[in-house]
């Protein structure tokens, strides 16, 4: 989830930079406000994971996954001219797919109660 938030923040920073230089952004959105939210999410992910707040972490991961799903849906249904090329459109889909994979992984670990750093030793 940290990777998704980091790549999404970089995507938005690049988009804002391109807009400031008179060029098209990488996708339909480019916002420093979104970058601020993503930085907050990265801090919240790290803190909730490090402190062992599983429910809070799962909630944050769910929010990240929902944002990823909505972005993927938009990339598949919106006008293709909103992206400079198909490469950037599919790059965005791949970046947002990371959030979905992170959610599935977190759900798996929560359902099967996999503890981080612990190994079941049978003797």
Backbone torsions φ then ψ of 116, nearest 5 degrees: -70, 135
Burial class, 81, CB count within 10 angstroms (exposed 0-12 / middle 13-18 / buried 19+)? exposed
d(CA 60, CA 64): 6
Predicted confidence at residue 115, as pLDDT, reads 61
Q: What is the pLDDT of residues 107-118, one digit of tens each?
A: 888 888 766 555
d(CA 72, CA 84): 17
pLDDT digits (tens), the chain, 123 positions: 899 999 999 999 999 999 999 999 999 989 999 999 999 999 999 999 999 898 999 999 999 999 999 999 999 999 999 999 999 999 999 999 999 999 999 888 888 876 655 544 444
């Amino acid at each position: 989830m940290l990777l998704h938030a980091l790549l999404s923040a970089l995507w938005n920073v690049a988009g804002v930079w391109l807009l400031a230089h008179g060029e098209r952004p990488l996708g339909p959105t480019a916002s420093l406000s979104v970058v601020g939210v993503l930085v907050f999410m990265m801090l919240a992910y790290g803190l909730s994971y490090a402190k062992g707040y599983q429910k809070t972490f799962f909630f944050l991961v769910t929010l990240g996954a929902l944002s990823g799903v909505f972005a993927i849906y938009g990339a598949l249904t919106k006008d293709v001219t909103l992206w400079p090329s198909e490469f950037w459109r599919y790059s965005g889909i791949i970046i947002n797919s990371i959030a979905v994979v992170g959610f599935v992984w977190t759900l798996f670990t929560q359902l099967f109660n996999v503890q981080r750093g612990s190994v079941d030793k049978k003797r």
